[in-house]
Structure 1
């Protein structure tokens, strides 16, 4: 849906969330959400299910309060599919679900939106969605079950799949469509973040891989509730991988962001920058400022979540988790946009 009709449907969906939730729609797509990934629940993916508090951890109320007090309005909550659903098409794990519910409930009291992020790269237990081990409908089954739990909670948004690089773009687009349809059939009008295929890079949104691009595969994506945005990621190092601490020029990053903005505006779609992060060098802080500056006040961008924070990052150079010496240097830039 595009143009005025999509906007109208989005308003109806937001109204439905308000009526059902009886509270302020903290995950409203019409305003720009700004926040951080609070990582930890997706850690140690080879330790499945793993030991809670040893292999992986969820954010604390103190973590949530700190970032709320900086002016942030959303946290992206990465977690592992295998931990929340131990068997394909099976019931959700009650202990893991309670941990997610606890974060959501705490965030609601702080008026924070929680973006539930299935952090699995398009696979389950190392097998790609669409393989014989993981049927194409498996992700829709997971999200139907999650939607039944979190339907229309005003501070919960759904992130279908982090960086679905394990499968081709065209197949991912088809599975994403099937999954959002299942969410809506379950009666949930929540905001949904639909990741671009591969590594979801904004820099390659219009680049062709395997015969198609994200721009082509998702141009006519539809949502009966009219309440979705496309999630992209954009790191500042030369390979755009987010795995090294060098940064390309601020002007280059402005160009990347503007190209995505132009596509969204021309095609009646909006973006959410689910991951971006830099080290704290002068060049990288300039790069960070360029990315944030291009989104600020820009109607095409529904918001952003910086990568990352969390108690277990240690000396990770992108982390903005506060230390005993004070806030991370990156917050001097991020704070300008809160």
Structure 2
């Protein structure tokens, strides 16, 4: 489906019988209906979106029973921005991390200017959120150990550069639910080892209201989801007890945090039981990821899906259950197919921003221009030049 963003020219509207509602059909082969989008949305599709005739059942909840399963009009993302990568370089999906490959996106330590990138994204593009991945092994020499002072000082410089822009800054432990091949809380390391890490980090940023704690990047192949949720709860409890009582915390499920399976895998229901110290769920957001390439790996330049069906199902579950999610990793190549599909995905997500509260693209930071999903701007004189995907798809949803 090809998204059309149509300007509402008065002379054009005179000839239309009625405006097309959000994501309604406004074009396509043999289409003879209205072609102008509703002024409140200014977005419609060239082909029709199938509308189920039976009640939609998502997970264990019948969406038709919800008091309100439709998004309000005219929404904007609360969080929108880019991952600033580099401190997690060398990490593999088994939780091993070769810290000698870490490339801090700071000019003091490398040729990459993450601080300048974030300043540009905020001041010129109006982004307001950055995710700052880091390897657990870079921060501590072993599970349960105290923070490596020298390494944490370097990472903190990136966090402070982020905070200095006025943006939200997500601290993301990028270890896939593991330490050197072993699953946290289900063998070694223990929950106590993991919560020691989060106690130390949260204590450093307890007074920073715009720090967001991303408990863990992309857990996968977790044998016991119940045990994993116990680990997540322990981390949340430790963060709150460290004095970070009101900041947002991102709750990661199984299956690589995949938005497509977040409900069906049981992660949504299981993580719904995680609470703050007072038993509330305030500022606890579900952490979901979704790429647009053929196998959802984010390793291909071309995009093959708009993910509207995925995020429609997720949004309805969230709305039914009065919860919210942040899409903290998504993106595509700087290609025509991604300019089409990624724009469509972002349009739909923003239309559901009451429950999908933000999007953080992957990635800028220490990637060079040859990286397949590069979103990093390049220097041009005293300014910056954005990638084609950032220009065509991301900037319009930040302003």
Tell me the TM-score range normalised by the shorter chain: 0.7 to 0.9
- Paired with 2:205 and 2:175, the residues of 1 have a C-alpha distance of 20
Q: What is the match of residue 125 of structure 1?
A: 180
The correspondence of residues 97-108 of structure 1 with structure 2, limited to 5 A, is 97-108=152-163
2-structure distance, mates of 1:330, 1:86? 38
Do the aligned residues in 1 keep the contact of 2:77 with 2:350 (CA within 8 Å)? no
**Are residue 50 (structure 1) and residue 99 (structure 2) matched?**
yes
Q: 2-side partners of 1:236 and 1:95: how far apart?
A: 38
In the alignment, structure 1 segments of 5+ residues that lack a partner are: 1-29
Over aligned residue pairs, what C-alpha RMSD do you find? 2.1
Considering fraction of residues, name the structure with more helix.
1
Instruction: Give matches, 1:1-338, under 5 Å.
Output: 32-45=78-91, 50-51=99-100, 55-59=102-106, 60-69=114-123, 70-168=125-223, 169-189=225-245, 190-208=247-265, 213-224=266-277, 226-250=282-306, 253-296=307-350, 298-323=353-378, 326-331=385-390, 332-338=392-398
Instruction: Report SS of the residue matched to 2:388.
Output: coil
CA distance in 1, matches of 2:219, 2:81: 22
Contact 2:103 2:366 in 1 (8 A): no
In structure 1, what is the Cα distance between the partners aligned to 2:102 and 2:218?
Answer: 22
Compared CA separation, residues 130 and 220, structure 1 to 2 (3 A): closer
What SS does structure 2 have at the residue aligned with 1:182? helix
1:8 matched residue in structure 2: none
Q: Max radius of gyration: which structure?
A: 2
Q: How far, CA to CA, are the matches of 2:133 and 2:209 in structure 1?
A: 19
Pairs aligned (count): 301
**Mean CA deviation greater in 89-98 or 34-43:** 89-98
d(CA) in 1 for partners of 2:186 and 2:252? Answer: 20
Could you state the TM-score of these two structures normalised by the residue count of structure 2?
0.71
How much has 1:263 moved relative to structure 2? Answer: 0.6
- Greater relative CO, 1 or 2 (CA 8 Å, sep 6+): 1
Normalised TM-score (structure 1): 0.83
Deviations 1:77-125 (A, max 9, x none): 0000011111211111111221222122222221111100000001112
CA shift for structure 1 position 215: 2.4
**Is contact 1:236–1:242 with CA below 8 Å preserved after alignment?**
yes
Deviation at 1:48, TM superposition (A): 5.6
DSSP 3-state at the match of 2:337: helix
Compared CA separation, residues 48 and 263, structure 1 to 2 (3 A): closer
Counterparts of 1:333 and 1:57, CA distance in 2: 27
